[in-house]
Amino acid sequence: MAYNNLEGSIPEEIGHLKNLIVFAIAVNTLSGALPSSLYNLSSLTVISLAVNHLNITQLPYNMFSTLPNLEHLTIGTIPTSFGNLLEIKELRLDGNQLSGEASPSLENLSELIVLTISRNMVEGKIPTTIGNMTSLLSLDLSENNFHGVVPLRVFGLPSLSIVLNLSHNSLNGSLPIEVGKLKNLGTLDVSENNLSGEIPSTIGECTIMEYLNVQKNSFNGPMPPSLTLMKGLTYLDIPQNNLSGSILIDLQNISSLQYLNILFNMSNGE
């Protein structure tokens, strides 16, 4: 029932669908509170409520304990109740109007493999407790209002193998040497922040990375020669920084490279 023009409230009779597995009503104009009968549907594995006008702030604290099979939840706010979703695997909250700080209760979601909160208005610092999510394959916090330094524990998640996207925020500080621990990561995007300092040479230890975007920051110093060790790169975007020194001629030896942008730096040479 997603992507329709449904309006009004969700009927209490929804609770009669005892075998319901997926409940998707995203992108409608439904309003009112969620019916209490919804919490009796113990077979639910997916709940998608995003982009509506539901009074989702009234979710009962113990709602999720009655849904033992829940694996995927999409909703329009981040209640502390998420901390009870101990078995949830994917949490996708992108493209809503979420605000406030990220709930510290997320630290209990140790089985989470995908966390996406992009394109919202979440603010504050990135919780260090994300480091407890040792099963994470993909983390996308882009296009929010996060500030401060990136917790080192985020770079200490060796499980990250798909995406680490922190772009379009107000993060500052440096890109730490711990970035080299992300040896299995495919995509790293920290573009359009306020990061500074040199790009650490340990970035070259991410040898299977395909996409690296650090544009529109304040990185300085030379391009680290270790970039040429990243033989899997197809996309390298480092413009609009303060990089200096010679352009790395050995980048031409990365046969997989399809996109290279080094504009608006202070690099020199051929």
- 221, amino acid identity: G
Distance CA 142, CA 204 (A): 24
The H helix count followed by the E strand count for the chain is: 1, 22
Cα 148 from Cα 106, distance rounded (Å): 19
CB 5 within 8 A of CB 27: no
- Could you give the CA distance from residue 83 to residue 89 in angstroms, rounded to a whole number? 13
Q: Please give the Cα distance from 59 to 49 (Å, whole number).
A: 12
Contact 268, 247 (CB under 8 A): yes
| CA–CA distance, 214 with 221 (Å, rounded to integer) | 14
The per-residue pLDDT for 65 is 46
Q: Which of 190, 189, 249 has its CA nearest to residue 225?
A: 249
State residue 86's pLDDT score: 55
Q: pTM here?
A: 0.76
Burial 37-75 (b: 16+ CB within 10 A, else e): ebbebeebbbbbbbbbebeeeebeeebbeebeebbbbbb
Q: How far is Cα of residue 91 from the mean position of the Cα atoms in its chain?
A: 10
pLDDT at residue 9 in the model: 86
Alpha-carbon gap, residue 159 to 183, rounded angstroms = 9
How many angstroms separate the CA atoms of 3 and 28, rounded? 6
Per-residue pLDDT of the chain (270 residues; tens, 9 = 90+): 777 888 888 888 988 888 887 777 878 887 776 677 776 766 766 666 666 666 544 444 344 445 455 554 454 444 444 444 455 677 776 766 667 777 666 666 677 788 888 888 888 999 888 888 888 999 999 999 999 999 999 998 989 999 999 999 999 999 999 999 999 999 999 999 999 999 999 999 999 999 999 999 999 999 999 999 999 999 999 999 999 999 999 999 999 999 999 999 988 877
Rounded Cα gap, residues 118 and 156, in angstroms? 21
CB 122 within 8 A of CB 98: yes
Determine the pLDDT at residue 83: 47
Q: Which fold is adopted by the domain 1-76?
A: 3.80.10
d(CA 56, CA 34): 7
- pLDDT of the residue at 61: 37
